[in-house]
Amino acid sequence: MFDKGEFDVCTIIFNTFKSAISQVVTAKQIIPFPVAELQTETPATAGGHGAAEHAAGDASKPVYEMEPEEPVLLADLLPANLSMQIFRALLESTASEQGARMTAMDNATRNAGDMIARLTLTYNRSRQAAITKELIEIISGAEAV
């Protein structure tokens, strides 16, 4: 569809797992492949001597020889790259979902424990009040006789 011109850019939006209580919504362009990420580091700046670049006379454009040819290589690598990016997004989203579920269940368990403690205290106070009332009635009846 991209080759036919039916769309310009494909961006995948997913949750990135940061911690069990924190997920980050991430938007990542997957089609066309963002080349700006690759241009931040060249072989000459990556610690290499850059002999091929100096031999060609242009230090900003590295020279690479590929086997098989570039179109054949890219025809195999780009779909695999796209599949891996989508797979990574699915894994990140699943991990984020499980972290959110774990946090939600922990909070629910803690809230249920607090509720049980409050209800137990209310029940014990009500029971104690009923016992005290009965004792007062018994003592008042005994004094009346």
Q: Are 63 and 70 in contact (CB under 8 A)?
A: no
d(CA 97, CA 17): 9
Question: CA-CA distances (angstroms) from residue 69 to 74, 76, 82?
Answer: 9, 11, 20
What confidence tens digit (pLDDT) does each residue in 11-70 have? 899 999 888 888 889 898 887 777 765 555 554 444 444 444 444 455 677 787 778 888
Question: Among residues 35, 22, 24, which one has the least CA distance to residue 89?
Answer: 24
What confidence tens digit (pLDDT) does each residue in 94-105 have? 999 999 999 999
On the question of pLDDT at 112 being above 90, the answer is yes
Residue with tokens 């990556």: 46
d(CA 107, CA 102): 9
Q: For the chain, list the domains and their CATH numbers.
A: 10-38+67-113 (3.40.1380.10)
Phi-psi sector, 3: left (phi>0), alpha (psi -120 to 50), beta? alpha
Question: CA-CA distances (angstroms) from residue 104 to 15, 22, 112?
Answer: 17, 12, 12
pLDDT value of position 113: 96
Tell me the whole-structure pTM to 2 decimals.
0.58
